[in-house]
Every structure is written in C-alpha cells, then in structure tokens.
Amino acid sequence: MKKDEMNEQIAQIDKAMRLGNEGLSDDQKAYFCDQRPERIDPYHGILERFANWARAESLWILGFGTGCGAIELRPLMTSRYDMYRYGIQPRPTPRQAGVFVIGGYASVKTMKRIVRSYEQMQGPKFVLGLGSCTINGGMYWDSYNTINRLDHYIPVDIYIAGCMPRPEALLAGFNRLKEMIKAGQCDGMNSYAENFDWYKKNQKQIIKHWNMPDYNW
C-alpha cells in the first residue's frame, strides 16, 4: 500500500519535472525527449581550470549566419585574419559547436531556429552577440518582426557592439571570451537551465507557432 503511494508520488513528481510540450500534438510527443534541462555543476579546482583552458583554446563556432553580421565571420577564416591560430574553427553542426555567434539582427523566424540550435549545442556553450542589433535591436529597434534584446531569449556571454563590427573587433571579442572562459565566468548553460521557465516564456511570447518541444535536446 505504501509502496504504491510512493510510486504514485514519484510518478507525479516525475511528470511535474517533465516538459509539457504543448506545442506538439499528442501523437508527436513520443518523437521528442521531454526532459527539462538540468544544472550541471562544474568540476572543482584545477580540473575545472584545466577544462576551461581547453574549452577556451578550442572554440568551435556554429556556422549559422543568422543575420547580416555573419558576413564578418567569413574573413576570419581567410589568410588575413586567420582565426585558426587562436584555436577557433567553424563546425557545421550545433552538436559539435561550442560558440554560437548571433550574426546581428534576429528576426522572429530566425529566433526559433536560434533557440533550437542553441539548445542542441552541448554545454558548456557560449553565445557571442555580434553587432548592435543583438543588444538593443539597432536600426531594427522598432521593427515588428525583430527582437530587441537577445539576452531575453538565450543567455549571452559577450556582446560586440557596432554596426557592423569589423573582423578585428570580432577577434578581440573572441579573445575576451577566451579570457572569460578561462576565468570561469561563462556559465550560460547553467543559467539557461536555472531560468528555463523565464527564457521559455519570453521565447514563446514572440514565437507564435511553437511546433517543437519545449527543450530541443
């Protein structure tokens, strides 16, 4: 009797822990994982510092040009700027990327993809807001279809202001990011998990046709 009750309680808690995935029809829910993201504690001491050093020295950018600023990413790969020497290289899939460079303005349509891609990256993951648009909407500040503040939707580690910022600025931004990582200051992943409901509420406010799970594993 008691065991049954316990089991029932566990089941209830488990259900409460899980995501609602209201955007999906019932027959689609089985296709997606409905776990909530969790906070994962860092390692301790030297181990974490070593790990952070490795993370900082091997920054893999997600090659997803979300806006016009993405044009500034390309020169970084060329012989003139050569980001490779800083251990930075592009990766074609969010699964393998650690840095998400939001290339300028993010329209609502793109925002959906940004959220999805961000959630699919493996932590710890870093977001670099590129250009004024990601800070306050920039020249699109009163647009009906563009967000004004990126960090209402996903945690941002560093912004690079300008419209657009030059590749040099970008490199500077990356180097700053590296320092921050080494210093252990970049924990957007855990803050996203901790404030998941808030982020999700904001996201759902602008994205009307939410046809994906609440957290894209």
Write out the residues near another protein by the rule CB under 8 A.
27, 30-33, 35, 38, 40, 42-43, 50-51, 54-55, 57-58, 60, 63-64, 78-79, 82, 84-85, 87, 89, 91-96, 98, 113-114, 116-117, 120, 122-124, 189, 211-212, 216-217
For another protein, the closer CB: 116 or 176: 116
Phi and psi at residue 151, to the nearest 5°: -75, 5
- Least distance (Å) between residue 27 CB and another protein: 7
CA dist., res. 175 & res. 57, Å (int) = 10
For another protein, the closer CB: 129 or 132: 129
Provide the residue count of the chain: 217
> Hey, what are 21's tokens?
């995935």
- Least distance (Å) between residue 161 CB and another protein: 26
CA dist., res. 169 & res. 174, Å (int) = 9
> Hey, what are 72's tokens?
């500034």
> Hey, what are 68's tokens?
């016009």
- Least distance (Å) between residue 141 CB and another protein: 25
The string over 205-216, giving b where at least 16 C-beta atoms fall within 10 Å of a residue's C-beta and e elsewhere, is: ebbeebebbbbe
- Least distance (Å) between residue 81 CB and another protein: 9
CA dist., res. 177 & res. 59, Å (int) = 10
For another protein, the closer CB: 64 or 140: 64
Rg, the chain, Cα only: 19
CA dist., res. 147 & res. 141, Å (int) = 8
Instruction: Look up residue 97 and give its amino acid.
Output: A
Only one residue has tokens 């566990």, namely: 10
For another protein, the closer CB: 116 or 200: 116
For another protein, the closer CB: 3 or 44: 44
- Least distance (Å) between residue 60 CB and another protein: 8
**Cross-strand pairs, 62:** 91
For another protein, the closer CB: 158 or 181: 181
